[in-house]
Amino acid sequence: MTGPAAAQPPRGTLLGLLSLLGGPHQRGRQFGSLGRPRQPGPVLPEGQLAGLQARLGPVLARLDAERQSWVRQTERELRLAAGGAALGGLGLGWSMGGLVTGVALMLGGAGFALLLLMGRAQGTTREAAKQAIAEALAPELIGLSPVPPGARAQRFTPERLAGWGLSRPVHTVTVDECLTGERGGFKVSIARVGMFFGNENNRTAEVGGGACFVVAEVTTPGAAEGDATVVVPQDAALAFRTAPSAGRPPAATTGDADFDARYRVHGDPSLLGPEARKAFAALEAVTRADPTCTRDVTPGTGLRPFVILRPGPVTVLTPLALFDGAFEPPPFLVALDAASLTPRFASDLLILNDHLAAAMTLTKGLFR
């Protein structure tokens, strides 16, 4: 299998200059690749892989054509923004300290405008590629449909996450991927969600106060929400073992020594009967974040998940490596190649499907 070929930077363009100076395309603080994207995990049979690749080929050809249009438009915007910022910086600096200050602010203003717009532009092309690839592969491969980028934030608002009993107020939420559908009579969704936590007044995001999770939700149709029972892993970070300011129900034991050594139950422990406790093995089998949450480890050896139980929905939060490298199309200078992208995206979809299947196992165990 051959990888995608890197295109040459456009000559004499700001985009070409920035691509040479900026290094590998980054996705930001909570979702990024660090230049080392995760290698594909589950491998599809050759026949199925070929069918998905044939489906994805025309989609990528369309996206590549749209990228060329994006390059031309973004280049115009960068030149206008850089010119305006340079003139503004020169005028401000001249009025403050003369020519030297003016030139310094001119260069600084132009550089800042270029980097700001370049980051936004890269994010736009990345989201478009991610969404199109997921729409082409996910329905056939795992029977779910991707939620459009603009609608993801509405599903995971800070106010909704506050009802999950997390240790601190959620300041901002980043949803990198979300797929929804129905399975076995349940409404289901699976997402990669990043959270920044705020101070007690939720006014500012704490430095380093971020966490990422794979969030699986399984909901019984027609069930109403009620008081939550929160299951917290004993190996969770101290910040998550600490009760939130609103308080959690007191910790209770299930009477199962092995289970109670791994988890603390805040709420009604009677919900966790023998079959439900046994189902936690399926949840633990898909964990893959090391204790620092910065890299993947062998599935089944990572940090254990959090579980929120309500009368209707069951929510499973599995810690995710911050720089997971998942669902990552190449930057705009690299061709969108179906031969390399199909197995990588298919692998990531299958990993998400494993998380959802584990949550389904727990949901069924709750009713036995």
Per residue in 218-265, pLDDT (tens digit) is: 998 766 666 788 999 988 876 676 655 556 677 889 999 999 999 999
Q: Which amino acid is at 64?
A: D
Question: What pLDDT is attached to residue 7?
Answer: 45
Question: What pLDDT is attached to residue 276?
Answer: 94
β-pair type (306-309, 313-319): antiparallel
For the sheet with 306-309, list strands across it: 145-146, 170-183, 186-198, 205-219, 313-319, 306-309, 229-233, 263-266, 251-252
pTM of the model: 0.81
Question: What pLDDT is attached to residue 241?
Answer: 63
Dist. CA 81–CA 117, nearest whole Å: 8
- Token reading at 189: 């969704």
Question: What pLDDT is attached to residue 1?
Answer: 38
DSSP string, 129-197: HHHHHHHHHHHHHHS-EEPPHHHHHHHS-HHHHHTTT-SS-EEEEEEEEEEEEEETTEEEEEEEEEEEE
pLDDT by residue for the chain (368 residues), tens digit each?
Answer: 344 444 444 554 555 555 555 544 444 445 655 545 566 677 788 889 899 999 999 999 898 888 777 766 666 666 665 555 555 554 555 556 555 455 454 555 555 555 555 555 566 777 888 899 999 999 999 999 999 988 998 899 888 887 787 766 777 888 888 999 999 889 999 999 988 776 656 555 555 567 889 999 999 876 666 678 899 998 887 667 665 555 667 788 999 999 999 999 988 899 899 999 999 999 999 998 888 887 888 899 999 999 999 888 899 999 988 766 667 777 766 788 899 889 989 999 999 999 999 999 999 888 76
> Cα Rg for the chain, rounded, in angstroms?
23
Residues 6+ away with beta carbon under 8 Å from 44: 52, 343, 346, 350
**Alpha carbon 112 to its chain's center:** 27
Dist. CA 319–CA 212, nearest whole Å: 6
Q: Which amino acid is at 134?
A: A
Q: Residue 174's closest CA among 159, 191, 193?
A: 193
At 94-145, the pLDDT tens digits run 556 555 455 454 555 555 555 555 555 566 777 888 899 999 999 999 999 9
Q: Residue 347's closest CA among 62, 82, 42?
A: 42
Query: Can you tell me which residue has the tokens 């260069």?
Result: 107
- Do 42 and 350 contact (CB within 8 A), yes or no? yes
Dist. CA 88–CA 91, nearest whole Å: 5
- Do 235 and 261 contact (CB within 8 A), yes or no? no
